[in-house]
Homo-oligomer: A and B are copies of this chain.
Amino acid sequence: MNHDRRSQRTRQAITDALIELMVDQTYNTITVQEIIDRANVGRSTFYSHYADKDALLSSVFEQFGKELELTSTRAYQLLPIRELFEHVAENHRQFKAFLWGSGTDFLFRAVHGHLDIHFEKRLQEKLGEEKPPVLVKMVAHHITGVLMTLIQWWLDEKKPFTPEEMDTYFHQLVVPGVEQMFGIRL
């Protein structure tokens, strides 16, 4: 009665096909035909799993977001940046595909949503209730932005620094500004 695994495999094949295609092509230019050809899947099968090409992309992001979360929930400090960069390095191909082929938008919006909240909480813990919430939100957004920007740059430039170095640079660039802004030590 449980044929889920078969579906699962099919979905995985479709997902993988999209990611592979995004390595060389922009999301917009990819057709459903190309996806199902590469995934070796029938047209109607595709549409029985996903309403849309966009629905597929969303689900890829979702899955991706969960992986990211696994990395970032074992968080001590601001964020385990070194581990994050290591994760990025391991999934180099996937990240590249997203950052180049997909519309960064989609990814940026999604990741911002998650991480903004994470950083906002951490900041609130450090600050108590004394600072204006809008300002805290802005700074949280800022921190996420820096992180995303650095990851993007790092991959574009073919990882000229190690994850450890990126960790160091990230903290050097971000921490003094935030400390100055709120008059605290992080």
Contact = CB atoms under 8 A, between A and B. Distances in A.
A177 interface: yes
Contact of A141 (B105, B141, B153, B178): B153
A31 interface: no
A174 interface: yes
Interface stretch (A8-16, A79-87, A142-150): A142-150
A175 B177 contact: yes
Given A139-B173, A172-B181, A177-B174, A134 B146 contact: no
Contact of A173 (B137, B142, B150, B153): B142
Contacts of A108: 104
Contacts of A104: 103-105, 108
B169 A138 contact: yes
A5 B110 CA distance: 44
A179 B179 CA distance: 14
A42 interface: no
Given A145-B149, A149-B149, 16 more contacts: A103-B104, A103-B105, A137-B157, A138-B153, A139-B173, A141-B153, A142-B146, A142-B153, A145-B145, A145-B148, A146-B146, A146-B149, A172-B177, A173-B178, A176-B176, A177-B177
